[in-house]
Amino acid sequence: MKILKHTFILSFAFFFLVLGTFSQAENAKEYADHIVYFNAFPTDSLPPQMTKQYGLKRSKNYAMINISVMEKAAGVPTGVKSKVTGNLKNLMGQTRAIEFREIKEGKAIYYIAQIGVQSKEVVNFNIDIQPDGSNEKYEIKFSKQF
């Protein structure tokens, strides 16, 4: 059972590493002390075991928002605990709060949230981030069509 859990954790970390690599340039924002990685994608692209493990609905009508805050200390970025809040607005002007959950996988820290989406829906995200131990607050704004 421990081997299965360890394998799952490694596959989860690998999935987000690969996901981040494909879209790193357009889905990252660098600040003086931190790098914030962000993405949103339909949950039907996630492995079924992962959605079950983290209590996500796996469907093209649901999307997951993933935020990761890395500290640029000593030249090696490391995950940093942060306060992450946000909201979204669709093109009809409907606004909803986004509730993020913290996921820790070894030294990696992710903040995820799940939202319902419609086919071809464009969603504008406004995410506020404050890393622990920092007076800095960061605002990430991005749009995604699902």
The domain segmentation of the chain, as residue ranges, is 2-145
What is the pTM assigned to this prediction?
0.79
- What's the confidence (pLDDT) of residue 74? 66
- What's the confidence (pLDDT) of residue 22? 43
- What's the confidence (pLDDT) of residue 38? 97
- What's the confidence (pLDDT) of residue 77? 75
| Spatial distance between the Cα atoms of 87 and 131, rounded to a whole number of angstroms | 18
- What's the confidence (pLDDT) of residue 107? 83
* 112-124 burial code (b ≥16 CB/10 A, e <16): bbbbebeeebebe
| Spatial distance between the Cα atoms of 93 and 96, rounded to a whole number of angstroms | 10
Q: Which of the residues in the chain have pLDDT under 50?
A: 3-10, 14, 17-18, 20-24
| Spatial distance between the Cα atoms of 22 and 15, rounded to a whole number of angstroms | 11
- The answer as to CATH 2.60.40.3340 being correct for domain 2-145 is yes
